[in-house]
Amino acid sequence: MTASVKIDITEDTILVGIAAAPGIAISRSHRVNRDRMTVIERRILPAEVGPEIAAFKDAVNKSKSQLLEVKDQAGSKELFEHLYIIDTHLLILDDEMLIGDTLRLIREELINAEGALNRVLRKLRQMFERISDEYLRERRSDIDSIGDRLMRNLLGETHESLADVKDQVIVVAHDLSPADTVQIDRSKVIGFVTDIGGRTSHTAILARSLGIPAVVGLETVTSLVPDGTPMIIDGSTGTVILKPSAETFREYLIKKQHYDYLESELVQFRSLPAITRDNCPMALRSNIDFVEEITAAREQGAQGIGLFRTEFLYMSGEGPPSEEEQLAIYSAAVEQMAPFPVTIRTLDVGGDKFVPEFNLADEVNPAMGLRAVRFSLKEVNLFRTQLRAILRAGVFGPIRIMFPMISGVAEVRDCKQFVERERQDLLSAGIACGENVEIGIMIETPAAVLIADLLAKEVDFFSVGTNDLIQYCLAIDRGNEHVAYLYEPTHPAVLQALHQVCRAAENAGIDVGMCGEMAGEDLYSLVLVALGFRELSMNAMNISRVKRIIRQIKIPEAKQILDHLLSLSTAAEVSAALEKEMSQRYPQVFSEKYL
């Protein structure tokens, strides 16, 4: 959604952006200048090459020292978890494409340092823009943020630090870099709004883990809002209200109290077991992209990793990770998560997950193209390396292998053969492997749903990837905003698909879980338990929310509700019935939203 642009700020001016981190903040705006700089490109004389290169290298070194200083000063535990973002930025400052190419342009094409850097940044941004996967695309913000710092240092501009904010404010910025967010003092910065960014940008992820309400992607908020403007932000709905009237102020104050109360209640669920009222245990697990997220996941009460997306390991810019590199990462994950299992999903590249390194062929229809396990079965050396690393990491604790985008039994058998071959190979070379490494598949295609009974005979567990399953089931491109309104988890076809998968798993006696976004939405928790899911894997921040609902469910009651929902004909009917039911059962949690 984009902001509705208004030039004059009148009372109760409303802007709508992307809800990045929930909660309500009421205060005055504090503008932080992160505007784009004017960069002038010019040709230089050969004699100027030396000084331009020296200036550029100075800027790189200065940027590194600034980031190291931010890292040293970050004190709080929540922030500590995210310092890997600063490390990523430090790595980018050594990146051959960024640094090497800029130096080359200065040296060989005789372009001044700022012009050369600008060109390279533009090229990198364009590369990232081609990515249709939201999470990966937003890694562009890392390039923006490090590029901004580097350019400011090159041009000799100062960088206002968020550590210097004195009063309680809502920060208004074009964008905030991870270094900015790591410096935030939570007693001062009580919310922030930005022009750019999306739900999965680092800024948004950090805001969520810090518990600071945030609205991003407002497009023009920095040009609209002068310093000191009274404002309210609702990070749960993505709403920003400028110059609130007395009535709006009162309304939001009550909403804020209600929200804060529910949040304070949530903390107590972290250490409580995830068990229904009639004593059925559920495994609530976390989805991660980096091993560094595990400490935070444990703190939130995650009982294992239900989905470790491994795509990022392949994006370092230095070629695919070696067996030893992967082993180090997987075994660290396993050791940190023990005694709970870590589920490693094999490389899910292609389709909407573009990894620049692989130079995948342009496909007319990439979502149905050479992606995920299809790619692995073609690029067998990459596949074998990853499987060996997973098998070896199994020595350190419980680990599970999960194959994405399975569409048939033959594919599963091929994958299993690869696993077996690698195991034999390792063992005959005297290299130890985990003994009981479970093998599972993601259920993401309609074909996998239709033959779930056959697939269930082949594997130890299923995990439903609703993000893709809904896309393929309803024929809706998950990244296409024009059909986003049709992307409905409550569509009867989706419910029937989930039902069928759970029945097949139950009949075969294998575990069935879910790791798509639907698993982390507390509105659906009751339905998922009734369907038979016993493992839900989600963003760790949602675990307590889902647990709060689960602990109040009685399975026979939930099944009755499910039966009714399964008898309805449209997604709207199912949603309405579910929202009504949930707001009656859990009025404190859902009444605000749905009644």
List of residues contacting ligand PEP (CB under 6 A): 307, 309, 348, 444, 465-468, 515-516
Torsion of CA 160, 165, 169, 174, to 10 degrees: 10
The per-residue DSSP string of 363-410 comes to: -SSGGGSS-HHHHHHHSHHHHHHHHHHHHHHGGGS-EEEEESS---HH
Q: Which is nearer to ligand PEP, 151 or 367 (CB)?
A: 367
Shortest distance in whole angstroms from residue 524 CB to ligand PEP: 13
**Residue 309, contacted partner among Mg ion, ligand PEP, none, CB below 5-8 A by kind:** ligand PEP
Task: State the Cα–Cα distance between residues 13 and 231, nearest whole angstrom.
Answer: 9
Task: State the Cα–Cα distance between residues 18 and 238, nearest whole angstrom.
Answer: 5
Nearest residue to 298 (alpha-carbon basis) of 281, 308, 310, 284:
284
Q: Which is nearer to ligand PEP, 461 or 590 (CB)?
A: 461
In the annotation, is 433 catalytic?
Answer: no
Phi, psi of 303 (to 5 degrees): -105, 65
Q: Which is nearer to ligand PEP, 518 or 549 (CB)?
A: 518
Length in residues, the chain:
595
Check: CB of residue 95 under 8 Å from CB of residue 356.
no
The three-state secondary structure class of 356 is helix
**Residue 466, contacted partner among Mg ion, ligand PEP, none, CB below 5-8 A by kind:** ligand PEP
Q: Which is nearer to ligand PEP, 215 or 470 (CB)?
A: 470
User: What count of other Cβ atoms lies within 10 Å of the Cβ of residue 389?
Assistant: 25
Tokens coding 562: 């499910």
**Residue 276, contacted partner among ligand PEP, Mg ion, none, CB below 5-8 A by kind:** none
Shortest distance in whole angstroms from residue 440 CB to ligand PEP: 13
Shortest distance in whole angstroms from residue 187 CB to Mg ion: 40
Which of these is catalytic: 82, 174, 202, 491? 202
Residue 276, CA distances (Å) to 98, 271, 273, 529, 549 in order: 52, 15, 9, 9, 9
Q: Which is nearer to ligand PEP, 63 or 287 (CB)?
A: 287
Letters for 437-476 (x = contact with Mg ion by CB under 5 A, - = none) are: ----------------------------x--x--------
Q: Which is nearer to Mg ion, 115 or 465 (CB)?
A: 465
Which of these is catalytic: 415, 473, 502, 515? 515
Shortest distance in whole angstroms from residue 203 CB to Mg ion: 24
Shortest distance in whole angstroms from residue 298 CB to ligand PEP: 21
**Residue 515, contacted partner among ligand PEP, Mg ion, none, CB below 5-8 A by kind:** ligand PEP
Nearest residue to 531 (alpha-carbon basis) of 580, 508, 486, 565:
565
In the annotation, is 482 catalytic?
Answer: no
**Residue 516, contacted partner among Mg ion, ligand PEP, none, CB below 5-8 A by kind:** ligand PEP
Alpha helices (H) along 268-312: 294-299
Q: Which is nearer to ligand PEP, 184 or 536 (CB)?
A: 536
Shortest distance in whole angstroms from residue 438 CB to ligand PEP: 18
The per-residue DSSP string of 208-255 comes to: HHHT--EEE--SSHHHH--TT-EEEEETTTTEEEES--HHHHHHHHHH
Check: CB of residue 136 under 8 Å from CB of residue 314.
no
Intra-chain end-to-end CA distance of the chain, in Å: 24
Task: State the Cα–Cα distance between residues 363 and 476, nearest whole angstrom.
Answer: 18
Check: CB of residue 374 under 8 Å from CB of residue 366.
no
Tokens 């903390």 appear where? Answer: 267
Q: Is the dihedral of CA 356, 482, 590, 495 positive or negative?
A: negative
Cα 65 to its chain centre, rounded Å, is 29
Shortest distance in whole angstroms from residue 404 CB to ligand PEP: 7
The three-state secondary structure class of 169 is strand
Q: Which is nearer to ligand PEP, 17 or 465 (CB)?
A: 465
**Residue 195, contacted partner among Mg ion, ligand PEP, none, CB below 5-8 A by kind:** none
Q: Which is nearer to ligand PEP, 193 or 514 (CB)?
A: 514
Shortest distance in whole angstroms from residue 307 CB to ligand PEP: 6
> In DSSP terms, which residues pair with 343 in a beta bridge?
400
Strand pairing class (239-242; 283-288)? unpaired
Shortest distance in whole angstroms from residue 376 CB to ligand PEP: 14
The three-state secondary structure class of 537 is strand
Binding site for Mg ion (CB under 5 A): 465, 468
Residues noted as catalytic: 202, 515
